[in-house]
Amino acid sequence: MNEINLSKLLSGILIVAIILVGSYGLISIDFSAEKFQKSPAEIHQQLLKNEHLINIEDINLKDSINEFVLVDLRTKSDFDKGHFDNALHLYAPNILDKEYLNILKKINKEDKSIILYSHTPQDAMSSWYVLNSVGIENLKVLNVNTIFYNNSFNVTPFNTEILKTDIAQFIKESNKVKTVPEVIKPIIKPVQIVKPVKKEKVEVEEGGC
- Per-residue tens of pLDDT for the chain, all 209 residues: 444 444 344 444 444 444 444 444 444 445 554 566 777 788 777 777 777 899 998 888 776 678 899 999 999 999 999 999 999 999 999 999 999 999 999 999 999 999 999 999 999 999 999 999 999 999 999 999 999 988 899 999 887 665 554 555 555 554 554 444 455 555 555 656 656 666 665 565 555 55
8 Å CB contact between 3 and 37: yes
Burial class, 149, CB count within 10 angstroms (exposed 0-12 / middle 13-18 / buried 19+):
exposed
Per-residue pLDDT, 115: 96
Per-residue pLDDT, 40: 79
Give the residue extent of every domain in the chain.
6-174
Per-residue pLDDT, 196: 63
Per-residue pLDDT, 89: 98
Q: d(Cα 28, Cα 92) in Å, to the nearest integer?
A: 9
8 Å CB contact between 133 and 36: yes
Write out the chain in H/E/C secondary structure: CCCECHHHHHHHHHHHHHHHHCCCCHHHCCCCCCCECCCHHHHHHHHHHCCCEECHHHCCHHHHHHHEEEEECCCHHHHHHCCCCCCEECCHHHCCCHHHHHHHHHHHHCCCEEEEECCCHHHHHHHHHHHHHCCCCCEEEECEEEEEECCEEEEEECCHHHHHHHHHHHHHHHHCCCCCCCCCCCCCCCCCCCCCCCCCCCCCCCCCC
Beta bridge partners of 157: 144
Report the first-to-last Cα separation within the chain, whole angstroms.
122
CB atoms within 10 A of CB 78: 19
With b for 16 or more beta-carbon neighbours within 10 A and e for fewer, the 158-186 pattern comes to beeeebeebbeebeeeeeeeeeeeeeeee
- Whole-model pTM: value is 0.62
CATH of domain 6-174: 3.40.250.10
